[in-house]
Structure 1
Amino acid sequence: MWLVPGLCAQEKPRVWTSADGRKLTGVLEEKGDGWVKLKVKDKVYRLKLEKLSEKDREFLKDYKIKKPLVIKTELKSTKDTDLKKTIKTLNVEFRNMEENQELYLLVMWIGKKNSDITGGSVGIMQQLECFYSRDGVYGHKAGFYDNQQVGESFRGWAIRVIDMKGNVLLEKASSNSYLRYLESAVTRQAPEAPGKEPDKKQERP
C-alpha cells in the first residue's frame, strides 16, 4: 500500500475558534456525530462540537475531510488447465480520491514472449490503459502460457498513475528492475503536463 502525498489533497492547518472566543490552530483529523478530532502540535484532541463557535460548526456541517490518496495492489493467480495458462489478476485499489477527480492508470505485464519461451528474453507481454474517477478495487487480467521446462511465462508487472494535469503520482513494479519498462511505454491516452513537449515514443490517436 502506498500513500501519495504532495499532489493529492490533504488537510491544512486552520484557525479554530472556541465557543468562548479563544483561538487555536489545528488540522482536522476526523469528525463524527457531535465531535471532532483536531491535531495541534503533534497531539490529537477530541472536542465536542458545542465547544466550537457557531461559525466553525457551520463549516463542519457538510465538510468532507481531505485525506492522502492511497493506492494498493494485490496479485492473484488461477490456473486454466484446458488452455495450459495461468491467469493473473492485478487488483489496483484507489482510496480517498477527490470529488470530480480522474486518474489514468497504465498496467504493464512482463513475461517471456511466446517465440522466446525456451530462451531467456523477457519483455512487455501486454499493457492496459484505464481511467478511474472513484474509489474502488479494479481488476486487470492477463493470461500466460505455462511451460514445464522453464515454468510460467509470467515474470512480473509495472504500473504508472497520472492525474489529468500530467503529473505522475506513482510508479511501482513487482520488482524494481521492471520499472525500466515504464520508460519505454508507448501509450495512446496518457495525459501530459502543460508545456511539455510530446514524447516521441508516444503515439497519437
Structure 2
Amino acid sequence: MGLIIGIVALLLVVACIASVVFASKLPGVSQTDSTPTAVATKTPVGVTPTPTTGSTTQANSTPSGNPIDPQAASIIIHPQTASEVDKDTLEPKAGTVGTTFKINQPIYVTFHLDPSKYDITKEQDWVNVRFYRGSESILKDDPLQLTKQETVGYFGAKYYLSTTNGAAEIYWCHTSTCSDGKLAQVVHFTVTD
C-alpha cells in the first residue's frame, strides 16, 4: 500500500513540475475567441461611425515597421480597443473602450469596414490582426474572410505573463494566408497588473 501511495505521489510531483515548465514556455498572449468575428450589418444611411478617443492609431509607430497603406486604411476604419464586445452588434459595450487593460483581461480590437471602398461582390478579401508585446510579434490570428456587406468586426486576445506596452496591427488581405497583407491600422494599449 505504501508503495502505491509513493508512486502516486511521485507521479503528482512530476505532473506539477511538467505543468510549471510547460506554462513557462507559453507565449505571453493567447486568443480569447476561437475565430475572429464580423457581421453583415449596414450602417444607417447618413450615419458615419465616429472613432472613440480611447484607442490610438499612431501612423509613425508600427511595431512591425511596416508602413500604413492608405488604400487599406480607407477600407478598415475606426479601430479601437475594448474589454467587452456586444456579441450581437460586434461593437464595444458602453464604457468598455480604453487603452489600459489588466493581465488576463480580454482585449478586443474592433473596427469598421467601408464597403464603398472595396468590391463586396468578390468575397475574396480577408482581415487579419497581429498582436505585439513591444516590437515582438506574439500572435498572428487566423484571417477573417469577408462575405457580402460586412461592416463591423473584432479580434480578441489576452496577455498573461507581465505588464507591457502592447499593440495590434490590422491588415487588409486578398489571400487566405494574408501573405499579401497591407497594414491598415494600428492600435496601442498598455497591459498592467
Q: TM-score normalized by structure 1?
A: 0.33
Greater share of helix? 2
Considering only CA atoms, is the larger Rg found in Structure 1 or Structure 2?
1
Q: Report the TM-score, using the length of structure 2 for normalisation.
A: 0.34
